[in-house]
Amino acid sequence: MQDSYNKAAFFLNDNKRRFPSKIEINEHIEQTPQIELISIPSAVGQAKQATDILQSLIDNNHLSPEKAINTAIVLPDEELLLPMLYSIPPEISTVNITMGYTLQHTTVAALMESIYQMQRRVRFSKGEPRFYHLDVKQLLGHRFIASRIGEKAYQITNFINENNRTFVSPKELGNHRLIKLLFLIPRTTDEAATYLIELLEYLQQGGNRSDSSGAYYITVKRLRDVIAKQDIEMTVETFFRLLGKMAVSISIPFQGEPLSGLQIMGVLETRALDFDNLIILSMNEGVF
């Protein structure tokens, strides 16, 4: 506003002239915030850079690891939440997250997308399904699946590679319970919903429950109930596509202590709050 050539303040200065304040205001700014712009070529690199800034604040006594409430990390791009969480310095023991994480970006959503791709590319020979080798390998390599079937995943992948198989039959995949649940071909939307529900129930057994798996489980059941109640007819492919669209709008909440620890939040959550140290990632046009 003090720069007469700055067009951004044109209307503000005009209002100031037309509607002067009744209160005497000292317009001289004693101390301006220190702002540093850093260019980083990759998204994960931004999280690493934020870590370096946090470490620098700790080393220079500008940030107390035990009481980091005066420092906030703002994530306009929610996909950077997990890279940021994995990059926080070990000295900071308490973190409060006041933003949701979209179900679409979770590990279970990636598994569902792999299942959808497998279902799309299945072929039939003499009435028996054949699964494309890349889809089989990708599913067996997913950490939810690999952690449950162990050495069997390596054996199947090795069999496919050694025999140069393009398509694999169910018999060649073996009799493991999870394999039988995973490599099924639902014919109707009700069968597709039951297929996913049984698969998610199996994956959540044995103390492997997660918020994302639970949220996806609920989403599938709700979609099945709506389809049945409204008597909606759709193909299995449409069912999977609709499920993927629903995952975009579902947010998984985090629990934390709002009055202590490093604050990690989205842009909207910063309203009416003030921090001594503010680290904003993704300050790009079209993102922020």
DSSP for 88-153, please give it: S-TT---EEEES-EEGGGSHHHHHHHHHHHHHHT-EEETTEEEEEHHHHHHHHHSHHHHHHHTHHH
Residue in the block written with tokens 């205001």: 25
Residue 262: strand, helix, or coil: strand
Residue 248: strand, helix, or coil: helix
Q: Which residue has the higher pLDDT, 102 or 277?
A: 277
Nearest CA to 42 out of 285, 203, 286, 281 is that of: 281
Mean residue pLDDT of the chain comes to 89
- On the question of pLDDT at 208 being above 70, the answer is no
Q: How confident is the model at residue 286 (pLDDT cuts 50, 70, 90)?
A: confident
What span, in angstroms and rounded, lies between the C-alpha atoms of 228 and 247?
20
Residue 209: strand, helix, or coil: coil
pLDDT at 224: 94
What span, in angstroms and rounded, lies between the C-alpha atoms of 131 and 198?
20
Between 96-100, 142-146, 193-197, the lowest mean confidence (pLDDT) is in: 96-100
What are the tokens at 96? 């409060």
- Residue-wise pLDDT tens digits, 53-98: 999 999 988 888 877 889 999 999 988 988 898 889 988 888 888 8
